[in-house]
Structure 1
Amino acid sequence: MSIAPYLKEIGRGKDGARALSRAQAADLMARLLDGQLSDLEKGGFALAMRIKGETPEELAGFMDAVQPRTLALTAPPTPVVLPSYNGSRKLPNLTPLLALLLAREGVAVLVHGFEEDPTRVTSAQVFEALGLPAVTEAAAAQARWADGQPVFMPLQRLHPSLAALLQLRAVLGLRNPGHTLAKLLPALPGSLRVVNHTHPEYAVSLAAFLTLTGADALLLRGTEGEPVADARRLPALKAFVRGQAEETLSVPAQAGSLAQLPSLPGEASAPATADYIRQVLAGALPVPAPIATQVSTLLALRRALGPA
């Protein structure tokens, strides 16, 4: 069956397009993920949604199709999920530091994303430099968690069809809803998700999605698109419990001028970042205050969620 009726709704341009219902969005995404669309239809969908933008209801419908097709994983209670898709260009990628600090507190952490990016340093590369290579099997993930270590799993293994949707960017040169869905993916049952955005308008739409879907999450403006607080200045940390914003668990953005900058590696390469992380974990260097605050906020949020 053609998706032309859906494209007719979403493909009328920024001002003329109409949003799909949640059920329609779920049906369209299910067909896409199951390989029922032609390359032309996939391109039409990606371009139309890029121009129109996704509504929270559409994102919820897309996720209704995405979630059941995720690799089944079993983690200890209330794991934390960190979507790592941007990597770093200028600053060190400290998503692995966040993951390791949480793991040190007894939290099961899943980091997912792409292993390589030709222009950026990925979390997978930093984990590899730390002696924690990517995990590709469910049993290996459970063993890593049992050993008190975080898990990095490539999206190609966690959700192959979603990974294929993201890879359309290499052909079209534009992002599509798959990029947002990957950052919202509830990859583990009962998980606490860290959701990050790069532009202020996404803070509004992602907050609406988290409310609509009853999510447990921490929303923040990420560092170069990564789900870790900027080591130099704390962004606002907005906590959600079952979809409701919890001001008592949220933290406002740091105001005023910085008294001093943290000691960060002079380059953003994976080996340099890994060496810095080792020094922080060993206590030779302090944990950057914004990241320490993010860790304590996530721990408080987990406690508020209660038993899994």
Structure 2
Amino acid sequence: MSIAAYIKVIGRGKDGARPLDAEQSADLLGQILDAQVTDLEVGAFCLAMRIKGETASELHGFVRATHSRCLPLEEASQVAIKGGKGIVLLPSYNGARKLPNLTALLASSLAQRGVNVLVHGPAKDPTRVTTAEVFEQARLPQVSSDHELARAWKAGQPAFMDIADLCAPLAKLLAVRWTIGLRNPGHTVAKLLNPFDAHAAQGVCCVQVVNHTHPEYAHSLTDYLQLAQTHALLMRGTEGEPVADARRQPRFDVFLNGQRHAGLSRAPEEGVLVELPDLPDGNGAAGTAAYLTDVMRGSKPLPASIAAQADCLVESLNTFAAPEAVA
């Protein structure tokens, strides 16, 4: 089935393009994820959306289409429900370029507090140090199935799942980047993905970290979170990773049911830095994993900004679990 009619709407340039509604967007991305279109059409979609930019309604449709094609996580959901501690989702799609990638450290800190943590993203990136590589070096669970994720959570450990296992069609769309040289809407969708959305009615308590690299994206992501009535912590990531900069705490905006919760949100750290945390030399996976182990054993302190983020997420889960507090 051709998506030419959709491309005609979104592909008229920055000024001439028009937005799609949520239903059209879900149909469009659904056809792409189901490989019902040609490679040429996929390339046209990626370039058109790159120029136009996504609206909140389009993102809502894209995310809905992707959720329905994710790996079912029924067993892991039941572990979270029975444990009563809730779930934190950490989308890890950028990796480390200059700084150490401390997403695994945040995940481990949350797991130590009793939270079920799922990190998802690519296993490898030819230009960055991925969280998967840090997990491997730290001997933390890398899972590929619902059962393996449930087993890791029962053991009180965080888990990493390759996006190719969590949502193979989305992984294929993400890989288009290496052909055309540009990111596409799939990268934004990946950072908004919540594979537990289908289990919300069963009582799954889940908060996802949604991070951005440029301040202007905070506005469009806020619009999406409000429209989708999402439970999330919105923040500027560290090199695009969903973890607070170890040197200075960024702003944390907490959304419950799509509404910003002033009591849970936190202002950014201001002023001149007077002391830098004890961080690993370089950004290699092995050194980062060794540092993570030292922090978890207590021989090195957890950076204050990451501790604040973990506190914020736990408080958000606790508030989310109390409906009268959210209301």
Query: Does TM-score exceed 0.5, indicating one fold?
Result: yes
Q: Is the 8 A contact 1:46 1:177 kept in 2?
A: yes
Alpha-carbon distance in structure 2 between the residues aligned to 1:187 and 1:202: 23
Q: Which of these residues, 294, 307, 317, is aligned with residue 302 of structure 1?
A: 317
SS in 2 for 1:69: coil
Note the C-alpha offset of 1:133: 4.4
Q: Deviations over 1:182-234 (max 9, x none)?
A: 00001224421000000111101011101100000000000000000000011
Give the corresponding residue for 1:92.
100
Alpha-carbon distance in structure 2 between the residues aligned to 1:164 and 1:34: 10
**Where do residues 33-182 of structure 1 align in structure 2 (5 Å cutoff)?**
33-73=33-73, 74-75=76-77, 76-77=80-81, 78-182=86-190
TM-score (normalizing by structure 2): 0.93
Q: What amino acid is aligned across from residue 253 of structure 1 in structure 2? A: P
Provide structure 1 residue ranges, at least 5 long, that are not aligned to the other structure. Answer: none
Give the corresponding residue for 2:299.
284
SS in 1 for 2:190: helix
1:2 maps to 2:15: no
Alpha-carbon distance in structure 2 between the residues aligned to 1:133 and 1:116: 16
- Which shows bigger deviation, 181-190 or 86-95? 181-190
Alpha-carbon distance in structure 2 between the residues aligned to 1:144 and 1:2: 42
Q: Deviations over 1:51-70 (max 9, x none)?
A: 00000000001112111111
Q: Which of these residues, 266, 269, 273, is aligned with residue 288 of structure 2?
A: 273
Alpha-carbon distance in structure 1 between the residues aligned to 2:318 and 2:285: 33
SS in 2 for 1:196: strand
Give the corresponding residue for 1:256.
271
Note the C-alpha offset of 1:38: 0.4
Give the corresponding residue for 1:186.
194
Note the C-alpha offset of 1:9: 0.6
Give the corresponding residue for 2:20.
20
Alpha-carbon distance in structure 2 between the residues aligned to 1:172 and 1:142: 37
Note the C-alpha offset of 1:283: 1.0
Q: What amino acid is aligned across from residue 63 of structure 1 in structure 2? A: V
Provide structure 2 residue ranges, at least 5 long, that are not aligned to the other structure. Answer: none
Q: Is the 8 A contact 2:141 2:158 kept in 1?
A: no
SS in 2 for 1:279: helix
Structure 1 runs, 4 residues or longer, greater than 3 Å off: none
Alpha-carbon distance in structure 2 between the residues aligned to 1:247 and 1:163: 35
Alpha-carbon distance in structure 2 between the residues aligned to 1:140 and 1:64: 25
Q: Which of these residues, 260, 269, 276, is aligned with residue 245 of structure 1?
A: 260
Note the C-alpha offset of 1:162: 0.4
Q: Is the 8 A contact 1:71 1:159 kept in 2?
A: yes
Alpha-carbon distance in structure 2 between the residues aligned to 1:166 and 1:50: 13
Q: Which of these residues, 213, 221, 233, is aligned with residue 228 of structure 2?
A: 213
Alpha-carbon distance in structure 2 between the residues aligned to 1:91 and 1:21: 39
Q: Is the 8 A contact 2:141 2:157 kept in 1?
A: no
Shift of the 158–307 alpha-carbon distance from structure 1 to 2, 3 Å rule, reads farther
Q: What amino acid is aligned across from residue 124 of structure 2 in structure 1? A: E
Q: Is the 8 A contact 2:212 2:236 kept in 1?
A: yes
1:197 maps to 2:212: yes
Q: Is the 8 A contact 2:89 2:118 kept in 1?
A: yes
TM-score (normalizing by structure 1): 0.98
SS in 1 for 2:142: coil
Alpha-carbon distance in structure 2 between the residues aligned to 1:249 and 1:20: 34
Q: Is the 8 A contact 1:81 1:187 kept in 2?
A: no
Alpha-carbon distance in structure 2 between the residues aligned to 1:269 and 1:140: 27
Q: What amino acid is aligned across from residue 30 of structure 1 in structure 2? A: G
Q: What amino acid is aligned across from residue 67 of structure 1 in structure 2? A: H
Q: Is the 8 A contact 1:124 1:133 kept in 2?
A: no
Alpha-carbon distance in structure 2 between the residues aligned to 1:102 and 1:307: 20
Alpha-carbon distance in structure 2 between the residues aligned to 1:136 and 1:299: 26
SS in 2 for 1:290: helix
RMSD of aligned residue pairs (Cα, Å): 1.0
- Which shows bigger deviation, 189-198 or 294-303? 189-198
Q: What amino acid is aligned across from residue 155 of structure 1 in structure 2? A: I
Note the C-alpha offset of 1:267: 1.2
